[in-house]
Amino acid sequence: MFFMKNLSSKKINNASSFMRLALGAVLLINPLISHANGISNNDSSVHNISSPTTEVVKPNLHADWQTLLSQYIKPINNGHSTAVDYTGIKKQQALLQSYLKRLSKVSQKEFDAWSNSKQLAFLINAYNAWTIEFILTEYPNIESIKDLGSFFNSPWDKAFIPLLGKKVSLNDIEHGLIRGSDRYNDPRIHFAVNCASIGCPALSEEAYTENKLETQLTVQTERFLTDSSRNYIKGNKLYLSSIFKWYGDDFEKGFRNTNSIQTFILLYADALKLSDAQKLALSKQDFTIKFLDYNWKLNATN
């Protein structure tokens, strides 16, 4: 009996050893099989498998525009203004058109989700870039952007721009999307949008961006107001660009607590080098404002 019990015990022990070896083999092989099939040991089901994803970093929307501005916008008039090398841009028109196509792909829903600063930077860049594209349709056989219109049809009213799901004109961008919107209320945009003319404020050598917009608009405003050929004080008269006449209402809508052209100018008194006596007179609106003629000649470098 003892022998039989002992033999049975040995069989049980041998069987247990075999089971342990078999179980160990399964545990060893299972991770290898799982790894080969993309399943981790923590997966509860094959339906939870997800392939690894690589984050795609989108390039700066305005990078191509910045490239063109850096190369083909030249400062003139002691830096107060700029001229455009249209010949150079025409040689890289494919890059300009690629940029414009990217702007056209932005949907109204995507645009509305942006911050006001990002929206405004987008619209200013769009206006300026499409203006240059418009000029290139006839350049070099053009002396003014007005040549692209007719007696009955303003060049700014031509709806040739695919933007935010619609075909719009330059006027639609400036007066509808920018000035006509309650989102921005910033008269400094008049020193940022560029109408391809010598009388216009400088076309910035830098693309407008969300994070730098406030500084950029301030710089452009000061840059324009320091241009004594277009804005200056003489005697008791304040001579200003016709921009202030055409868009005078925009300077009366409470931007930074200003309600007139005079109070807006006082925000940038240093740009006009106003004395304390002139500031006081301007605050009392003792100055008579005269608007200067506007030069519509093309702002070309040659």
Q: Looking at this protein, which amino acid is placed at residue 52?
A: P
Q: Averaged over 163-174, what is the pLDDT?
A: 98
pLDDT in tens, 89-129: 999 999 999 999 999 999 999 999 999 999 999 999 999 99
**DSSP string for 68-80:** HHHHHEEEEGGGT
Residue 236: per-residue pLDDT: 87
Q: For residue 220, what pLDDT band results from cuts at 50, 70 and 90?
A: very high
pTM: 0.81
pLDDT band at 295 (very low <50, low <70, confident <90, very high): very high
Tens of pLDDT, residue by residue over 7-34, are 344 443 444 444 444 444 444 444 444 4
Query: How far is 168 from 173, CA to CA, in rounded Å?
Result: 7
Query: Mean pLDDT across the stretch 280-293?
Result: 93
H-helix or E-strand spanning residue 6: helix 2-36
**pLDDT higher than 80, residue 225:** yes
- Note the pLDDT of residue 302: 82
Whether a cis peptide bond, with omega within 30° of 0, leads into 75 is no
- Region 284-288: mean pLDDT is 89
Q: Quick one: residue 285, left, alpha or beta (phi over 0 = left, psi -120 to 50 = alpha)?
A: left
3-class secondary structure, 164: coil
Q: How confident is the model at residue 58 (pLDDT cuts 50, 70, 90)?
A: low
- Smallest CA-to-CA distance from 173 within 216, 219, 131, 218 is with 131
Helix (H) or strand (E) segment spanning residue 108 = helix 108-112
Q: Is 238 left (phi over 0), alpha (psi -120 to 50) or beta?
A: beta
Looking at residue 182, what is its pLDDT?
A: 86
Task: Tell me the pLDDT tens digit for each residue of 135-161.
Answer: 999 999 999 999 999 888 999 999 999
What confidence score (pLDDT) does residue 289 get? 95
pLDDT over 80 (residue 219): yes
**Average pLDDT estimate for 44-66:** 57
- Give pLDDT, residue 31: 43
